[in-house]
Structure 1
Amino acid sequence: MGIYLSTPKTEKFSEDGENDRLRYGLSSMQGWRATMEDAGPHSDFAGPTSGCTACVAIIRNNQLVVANAGDSRCVISRKGQAYNLSRDHKPDLEAEKDRILKAGGFIHAGRVNGSLNLARAIGDMEFKQNKFLPAEKQIVTANPDINTVELCDDDDFIVLACDGIWDCMSSQKLVDFIHEQLKQESKLSVVCERVLDKCLAPSTATGEGCDNMTMILVQFKKPIKSASSSDEQSSHSKSVDTESGAEGSQES
């Protein structure tokens, strides 16, 4: 885990927007972490040797496509029930463990080579040094899982968030909390901010609730229906949990 501050930074970066099919809100907060590990602003920035995870959702007509590498997560609320649309790539998952061991790595205390607590990531080049293996078979790979689902009128919203939130709340608990907040608050970024505040720990004693956090909430407008072929468009939402970006960090 990173270095903690003596008091948390609770200032938030938040944003809202909408189109004819959906509304979205997002918020991020540094919390107890010493930095938000912002990405370098220049293309020639050498940057740290760490890495980031990514969870991306693309909505096209009635299809939702989710791609994930790492332990950020996408969840859909369908009639109030939470369904995970991505899988957290932790080293103890059988498929991840098998790849790690075959590539010459090991797992200790739930961490790759005793260091990294996730099995897929962009960057983290120290785990991708085997010149005889393709990228998808390295100790740590950026190869994403991709999941496609058909949207319907039972779908309420999707959430994309980094592990700073999922370490504190289960998918169903978060969905329940959002539904409660939506009864009294229409601005989605405010709902996101309330989630961050709820997850923030009162102290660093346990480590839970001490990470930086990023969350995106996308609410569907009803009825959910396909755009016509003449007016076809895509809507994109991204959540990146990163040590070299602005939305959270890997625990290493």
Structure 2
Amino acid sequence: MIISQLQMGIYLSTPKTEKFSEDGNNNRLRFGLSSMQGWRATMEDAHAALTDLDDSTSFFGVYDGHGGKVVAKFCAKYLHQQVLKQEAYSSCDIGTSVQKSFFRMDEMMRGQRGWRELAVMGDKMNKFTGMIEGLIWSPKSGDKSKQVDDWAFEEGPHSDFPGPTSGCTACVAIIRENQLIVANAGDSRCVISRNGQAYNLSRDHKPDLEAERDRILKAGGFIHAGRVNGSLNLARAIGDMEFKQNKFLPPEKQIVTPSPDINIVELCGDDEFIVLACDGIWDCMSSQQLVDFIREQLKSETKLSAVCEKVLDRCLAPSTAGGEGCDNMTMILVQFEKATSSDDKPSASDSEFKPAESESQ
């Protein structure tokens, strides 16, 4: 296969349209998902979908990698585990537990253990270190039986590993009974359809947003051509340790921060479904356009993963000439069972929602 280098990135001569798709359900909801590499030379998206994180909680996450796939894969493997491990989770403070879990990802990817985990996940060693490619150091005593909490410091040649230079976005939705908790860092997005109207439950963290710009500048960074320090077109991400080197600042005030926005919503009878998707989808369709498209497909298609596949096919560009529709694409569609009464009204906090199309895209 021919690979061409264009301004927007490295593209294949023909797109890879094979899809990974999955469906699942419990008595509260059902979901479908699909992901596709598309025109990109590598697949750097990852995801997690657990209908039963515990007996009363479901977890869905989309992780869009950049500069490599390992940080997205790391988050897909460990972030939901960390949500369960947080002290706040046992006291039903899911918002705090997921927020701490975003920060915990950066902590876990440092040092010997972090280096080893990332190395095993598949990128070449020299992306992280000057060591010979393929050389993986591991301690003599195996650690497979350890719990995630026991992420103890390990001695080894990479004990001072500062963490990966690659990174990923993270957009997570946690559903417990009638409560929806959305946590987002980056430009993946979560949207809810409430009686056919799209509402954004997350904000795209672009460097030109006032709050993001202020933090970037105060931390000693700069913005050039809409990119942090001229390279990263995101203001928040997990990983990307080169933007988190100021020893005098806490993680939430670094040039790039993993700190998520947390949005807690009380679901009502008008809520039909939520969508989590990477920017490969949102570059091609607005929030309302996607909600309209899904609602139309649901009239004839019962399998939710098939609806996701149709979205991916619709967004895929016919060529790499324009850039849009050329990215990796991942989408999770979660449809609520109508356990709540259709007479339910949005709570006070929900009534502050603005329709997605009234927000700046």
In the TM superposition, residue 36 of structure 1 has moved relative to its aligned partner by 0.5
Corresponding position: 1:125 with 2:248: no
Alignment of 1:40-119 (within 5 A): 43=117, 45=119, 47=123, 48=127, 49-119=165-235
In the TM superposition, residue 223 of structure 1 has moved relative to its aligned partner by 2.7
> Distance between the aligned counterparts of 1:154 and 1:221, measured in 2?
11
Cα deviations by residue, 1:105-136 (Å, 9 ceiling, x for unpaired): 11111110111001000001111111111111
> Distance between the aligned counterparts of 2:117 and 2:242, measured in 1?
21
Partner of 2:17: 10
Alpha-carbon RMSD across the aligned residues, in angstroms, is: 1.4
Give the SS at the match of 1:101.
helix
In the TM superposition, residue 44 of structure 1 has moved relative to its aligned partner by 5.3
> Distance between the aligned counterparts of 2:255 and 2:319, measured in 1?
35
> Distance between the aligned counterparts of 1:162 and 1:91, measured in 2?
17
Alignment of 1:222-241 (within 5 A): 222-224=338-340
In the TM superposition, residue 101 of structure 1 has moved relative to its aligned partner by 0.5
Is the CA contact (8 Å cut-off) linking 1:21 and 1:224 kept in structure 2?
A: no
Is the CA contact (8 Å cut-off) linking 1:135 and 1:143 kept in structure 2?
A: yes
In the TM superposition, residue 61 of structure 1 has moved relative to its aligned partner by 1.3
> Distance between the aligned counterparts of 1:44 and 1:197, measured in 2?
31
The structure carrying a bigger helix percent of its residues is: 2
Is the CA contact (8 Å cut-off) linking 1:104 and 1:139 kept in structure 2?
A: yes
* Counterpart code for 1:93: L
Provide the TM-score with structure 2 as the length reference.
Answer: 0.61
The structure carrying a bigger strand percent of its residues is: 1
> Distance between the aligned counterparts of 1:218 and 1:100, measured in 2?
34
> Distance between the aligned counterparts of 2:322 and 2:287, measured in 1?
21
Q: Report the structure number with the largest CA radius of gyration.
A: 2
In the TM superposition, residue 43 of structure 1 has moved relative to its aligned partner by 1.9
> Distance between the aligned counterparts of 1:59 and 1:213, measured in 2?
23
Task: Identify the structure with bigger relative contact order (alpha carbons < 8 Å, sequence gap 6+).
Answer: 1
In the TM superposition, residue 2 of structure 1 has moved relative to its aligned partner by 2.8
Superposition misfits of 4+ residues, deviation over 4 angstroms: none
Partner of 2:106: none
Ranges in structure 1 where 5+ consecutive residues have no aligned partner: 226-252
Provide the TM-score with structure 1 as the length reference.
Answer: 0.86
- Identity fraction in percent: 84
Ranges in structure 2 where 5+ consecutive residues have no aligned partner: 1-7, 45-68, 75-115, 128-164, 342-361
* Counterpart code for 1:212: N
